[in-house]
Structure 1
Amino acid sequence: MNKVISIALIVAGAILLWFGYQESQSLASEASEMVTNQPTDNAMWFMIGGAVAAVIGLFGLFRGK
């Protein structure tokens, strides 16, 4: 995998993780979590997508040729 693509995936993963964190701290998410005892679906998908993108990017960066 190209190093530029790997770095882009790491950056995109970090951005998605940040959006997931912000979503989980929103007022609507806090209210939903208080009722259902689970974070909202948006927050979870942002965090899962960010983690997957970051791991793939790190794997591609350190794997090298």
Structure 2
Amino acid sequence: MIASPWVSPFGDQRRAKGQKGVLMTQTNIVGLVAFAIGAVLLFFAWRASQAPMDQMSEAMTGRFTGNTMWYLLGGIVGVVAGAALLYRGYMQS
């Protein structure tokens, strides 16, 4: 097994002198996944809000259907949490 130059086999993530780049820590990976899932949920929310039944429901009641709202809320939470974790991960490295 070839060891990565970024991470020692003992979990130590210090960089060698003169080595540039960004470490992909566990925080960064979790943040990236949460951000991606949030973006996908926001896309689903946008697509669901454009559906004819959802448009009619919004016109009648003034709000989106329950599924569309869950997609929207989940997407916002995922994007915000993912961005916060990415920011935290990059500030630590």
TM-score by length of 1: 0.92
Residue 46 of structure 2 corresponds to residue 21 of structure 1? yes
Task: Please tell me whether residue 56 in structure 1 is matched to residue 81 in structure 2.
Answer: yes
Q: How many residues align?
A: 65
Percent identity between matched residues is: 34
Gaps of 5+ in 2: 1-25
Provide TM-score, normalisation by structure 2.
Answer: 0.66
Instruction: Supply the AA of the counterpart residue of 2:83.
Output: L
Q: Specify the alignment match of 2:32 in structure 1.
A: 7
RMSD: 1.0
Helix, strand or coil for the counterpart of 1:3?
Answer: helix
Unaligned runs of 5+ in 1: none
Greater relative CO, 1 or 2 (CA 8 Å, sep 6+): 1
Greater Cα radius of gyration, structure 1 or 2: 2
Residue equivalent to 2:4: none
SS at match of 2:64: coil
Post-superposition offset of 1:34: 1.3
Query: Match for residue 47 of structure 1?
Result: 72
Is the helix fraction higher in 1 or 2?
1
Q: Distance in 1 between matches of 2:69 and 2:60?
A: 17
Q: Which stretches of structure 1, 4 residues or longer, exceed 3 Å deviation after superposition?
A: none
